[in-house]
Amino acid sequence: MKRLKFGIVGLGRLGRIHGENIAWHVPGSELIAACSIVPEELDYAKETLGVKDTYSSYVDMIKNPELDGVVIVSPSGFHLEQIQLALLAGKHVFCEKPIGLDVDEIKRTITTIEQHFDQVFFLGFMRRYDASYQYAKELVEAGEIGDLTVVRCYGIDPSSGMESFVKFAKRSNSGGIFADMSIHDIDLLRWFTKTEVKRVWALGKNAAYPELDEAGELETGAAMLEMQDKTIAFLVAGRNAVHGYHVEMELIGTKGTISLAHHPEKNLVTICNEHGVVRPTSQNFSERFKQAFIDEMRAFVACINKGKQPEVSANDGLQATIVAEACRKSWQTGELINL
């Protein structure tokens, strides 16, 4: 089995996760190139990941004829252009979510992706590769809970990040809590219901950090959505979970209910002490989705080896962006938004 050779662009927190996974945890893959404008990131790539070639220019990296594919973990604003360039250079592409920030530009990129149908384009909605979501999906597909009636998804970041977020929000635009946080949940919603969003109403409240009101940002956002088939969806996106990293899903069907991580249990340990019966919790996304990040990268490599596209498509990225944008608009205007 020949080893596929990859280059990575972006080696921040998430970039390093992907970098280590390709380098060490995906059989049949090698990380041979890395691109960053941060010299320390390139040092890390060489010293820790054993990367041969480093680049400060993405255009230079993708000229490397050895490369079979690229892994894009750069800031979201660069995704679309880097996807296009890599495809034109004949490389397979793994792109971290979101596919892009602007709906029209995403549509143009999708045209390019479709033209390069024999190159794999893989969008990093890693939750689809988490064992618990996979298990839930199988149950739903097998009809175990009948027809879906209500879907509820929460994605709440640990409050340990609040203070730095508040500082950041005063000077910069996060893109909004729905695009930033709910995008994974919107993808899950579409994946499980197999239908599209019809209408949405969104709300928000800044209770711990009311100063976010001025910045036009949210500590907690929420939305109720009606799907084309009348399925009802609830979303909560937050940044202030005191107990850790809280990502849960609930599916209410006509024959049963599935609850996934209602309490974000870290492991199989329970402690009884003066606080009561205590289960420790996941503390961050890299802990919670450690294996899912590995498994999605393995799936990317498997797609290349089998010459087929993944189940998750560029259009999934487009639709999730459209819905997140509708949530933002509904919250800002206070109106119901029809899609």
Which of 236, 234, 237, 150 minimizes the C-alpha distance to 200?
234
- Does residue number 203 form part of the binding site for its own copies (CB under 8 A)? yes
Compute the CA torsion angle 189, 194, 195, 201 (nearest 10 deg).
Answer: -10
List 2, 117, 118, 273, residue binding its own copies (CB under 8 A): 273
Q: Report the C-alpha gap between 208 and 12 in whole angstroms.
A: 29
Which of positions 155-194 make contact with its own copies (CB under 8 A)? Answer: none
Which of positions 278-307 make contact with its own copies (CB under 8 A)? Answer: 278-281, 291
- Does residue number 268 form part of the binding site for its own copies (CB under 8 A)? yes
Q: Which amino acid is at 337?
A: I
Q: What is the DSSP letter of 23?
A: I
What is the nearest approach in angstroms of its own copies to the Cβ of residue 323? 16
Q: Which amino acid is at 174?
A: S
SS3 of 201-232: EEEEECCCCCCHHHHCCCCEEEEEEEECCCCE
List 52, 53, 78, 205, residue binding its own copies (CB under 8 A): 205
What is the nearest approach in angstroms of its own copies to the Cβ of residue 211? 14
Q: Which amino acid is at 164?
A: S
Residues 58-97 as x/- pattern, contact with its own copies by CB under 8 A: ----------------------------------------
Calculate the CA 221 to chain-centre distance: 18
- Does residue number 142 form part of the binding site for its own copies (CB under 8 A)? no
Which of 123, 146, 335, 152 minimizes the C-alpha distance to 227?
152
Q: Report the C-alpha gap between 164 and 159 in whole angstroms.
A: 10
What is the size of the binding site for its own copies (CB under 8 A)? 76
Which of positions 211-230 make contact with its own copies (CB under 8 A)? Answer: 219-220, 222-224, 226, 230
Nearer to its own copies, 14 or 232 (CB): 232
- Does residue number 242 form part of the binding site for its own copies (CB under 8 A)? yes
Which of positions 1-20 make contact with its own copies (CB under 8 A)? Answer: 1
List 98, 204, 310, 317, residue binding its own copies (CB under 8 A): 204
Stretch that binds its own copies, among 90-98, 99-107, 251-259, 307-315 (CB under 8 A): 251-259
Which of 287, 292, 180, 207 minimizes the C-alpha distance to 244?
287
Which of positions 93-122 make contact with its own copies (CB under 8 A)? Answer: none
Q: Report the C-alpha gap between 115 and 83 in whole angstroms.
A: 13
List 262, 311, 332, 333, residue binding its own copies (CB under 8 A): 262
For tokens 């109720």, the residue is 224
List 117, 276, 306, 307, residue binding its own copies (CB under 8 A): 276
